[in-house]
């Protein structure tokens, strides 16, 4: 299978400058090793610290237990699933798995095909909810952009859907202008968001495009 | 799929993130928020998991092997063994518990319950688990008391499985 690499830029928070990075339409063994050896020790240490300090579990990073190796193994041989990764400074900065079997629920989009974002996670050092200044900003947005671009490529006209982690609800609603379809009782009460073709067009538009 | 945008575009999008941690995922809120769980259920699971981690640690130490050596012997990932010994919230893989039960020659069913993988934890096992955990606080070397606690718990785990294959 051909792998594509898009050259992107992330914002390095410490310096405030843009740094080159790669957006790849795959998750390979190197990414899983990064997840295991670089992400997991930080997440586990953070969870232990939160536990010791008696912080309620509801306040813990909400994806701390995700097993990316298992998620990728589930995709094997299934063309409806795709993985994406963001690499910067030779280290995996974010991962996403999408499902091409999604169907629209938003008014006017019901039953139309969309790219459903199964899982999207950024590395622990890029997360505000780990109680530190993130190293890079833009990783989550880059992955979301990939989902929208894939939807365009698949002739889904940019439609995407996702269940948001609670701390990101406002981002999807206010910054990405996605439609908030409210809490989904079938998915642990997570809010479901959708991006319509028109919203996708605006999302992907260069600022100087007409 | 290739996405070509200007540097200005990418940085503008990055700034939009502001102070948000972006994430998405089906079944993402796991473990469930505490308010959604029966407190007694949470406590019971945590009690037995403390005993599970401590049991694995003491059995390993009694054998005089390192985590790495036990991992090799049981055909397991050393990293997962380390987490099992230290993290009360960690839910091990069923295969891991199966391999540990084989290695230590104790009941697979009861060790599954102790690890929190089997829902029905019988009250007797739970009492014994709490007793064991309370008596076996880890120290540098295995004391006779710890050894006695471990022996007693091994006996409990070994005797209660009617389907145990020797």
Lowest-pLDDT range of A118-132, A155-169, B87-101, B111-125: B111-125
Contacts of B28 in chain A (CB under 8 A): 62-63, 66, 119, 163, 165, 188, 190
Whether residue A163 and residue B30 make contact (CB cut-off 8 A), yes or no, is no
Map out the domains of chain A as residue ranges.
5-209
Task: Choose the closest CB to A207 out of B8, B30, B87.
Answer: B8
How is domain A5-209 classified at the architecture level of CATH?
A: 3-Layer(aba) Sandwich (3.40)
Query: For chain B, what is the largest distance between any 2 Cα atoms, rounded to a whole number of angstroms?
Result: 69
pTM here is 0.64
Using the Cβ of A24 and the Cβ atoms of chain B, whether some distance falls under 8 Å is answered with: no
Map out the domains of chain B as residue ranges.
33-157
More confident residue, A124 or B43: A124
Task: Choose the closest CB to A188 out of B11, B20, B29.
Answer: B29
Using the Cβ of B78 and the Cβ atoms of chain A, whether some distance falls under 8 Å is answered with: no
Using the Cβ of A137 and the Cβ atoms of chain B, whether some distance falls under 8 Å is answered with: yes
Q: Give how far A108 is from chain B: nearest CA, Å.
A: 24
Helices (H), chain A: 29-34, 40-52, 68-75, 139-153, 169-170, 197-204
Whether residue A141 and residue B13 make contact (CB cut-off 8 A), yes or no, is yes
ipTM of the complex: 0.89
- CA–CA separation, A9 vs A52, rounded Å? 37
What is the arithmetic mean of pLDDT over A48-69?
72
- CA–CA separation, B153 vs B128, rounded Å? 7
| CB pairs < 8 Å spanning A and B | 164
Helices (H), B64-137: 67-74, 78-86, 94-104, 108-115, 123-135
Q: B51 — alpha (psi -120 to 50), left (phi > 0) or beta?
A: alpha
- In tens digits, what is the pLDDT along chain B, a chain of 166 residues? 889 999 999 999 999 898 888 888 865 444 444 444 444 445 566 677 788 888 898 889 888 888 889 999 988 888 888 888 887 777 777 778 888 988 998 887 788 778 876 655 567 777 787 778 777 665 556 778 778 888 888 888 876 555 544 4
Of the CA atoms within 13 Å of residue B90, those in its CB half-sphere come to: 24
């Amino acid at each position: 299978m051909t792998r594509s690499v898009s050259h992107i830029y992330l914002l390095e928070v410490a310096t405030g400058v843009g740094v080159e990075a790669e957006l790849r339409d795959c998750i390979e063994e190197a990414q899983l090793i990064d997840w295991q050896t670089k992400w997991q020790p930080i997440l586990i240490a953070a969870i232990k610290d939160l536990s010791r300090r008696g912080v309620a579990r509801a306040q813990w990073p909400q994806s701390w237990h995700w097993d990316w190796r298992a998620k990728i193994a589930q995709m094997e041989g299934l063309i409806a699933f795709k993985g994406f990764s963001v690499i910067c400074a030779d280290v995996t900065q974010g991962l996403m798995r999408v499902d091409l079997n999604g169907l629209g629920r938003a008014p006017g989009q019901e039953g139309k095909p969309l790219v459903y974002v199964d899982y999207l996670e950024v590395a622990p050092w890029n997360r505000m909810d780990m109680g530190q200044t993130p190293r890079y900003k833009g990783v989550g947005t880059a992955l979301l952009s990939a989902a929208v671009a894939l939807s365009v490529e698949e002739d889904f006209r940019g439609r995407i859907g996702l269940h948001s982690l609670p701390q990101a609800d406002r981002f999807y609603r206010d910054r990405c202008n996605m439609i908030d379809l409210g809490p989904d009782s079938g998915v642990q009460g997570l809010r479901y968001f959708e991006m319509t073709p028109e919203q996708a067009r605006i999302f992907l538009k260069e600022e100087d495009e007409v | 799929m290739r996405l070509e945008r200007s540097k200005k575009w990418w940085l503008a999008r990055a700034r939009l993130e502001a102070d948000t941690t972006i994430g998405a995922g089906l079944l993402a809120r796991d473990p469930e928020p505490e308010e959604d769980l029966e407190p007694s259920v949470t406590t019971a699971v945590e009690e037995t998991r403390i005993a599970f981690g401590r049991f694995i640690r003491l059995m390993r130490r009694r054998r005089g092997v390192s985590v790495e050596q036990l991992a090799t012997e049981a055909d397991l990932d050393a990293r997962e063994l380390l987490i099992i010994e230290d993290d009360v919230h960690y839910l091990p893989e069923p295969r891991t518990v199966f391999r540990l039960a084989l290695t230590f020659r104790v009941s697979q069913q009861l060790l599954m319950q102790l690890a929190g993988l089997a829902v029905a934890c019988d009250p007797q096992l739970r009492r014994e688990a709490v007793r064991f955990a309370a008596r076996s606080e880890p120290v540098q070397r295995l004391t006779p008391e710890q050894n006695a606690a471990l022996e007693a718990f091994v006996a409990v785990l070994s005797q209660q499985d009617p389907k145990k294959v020797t």
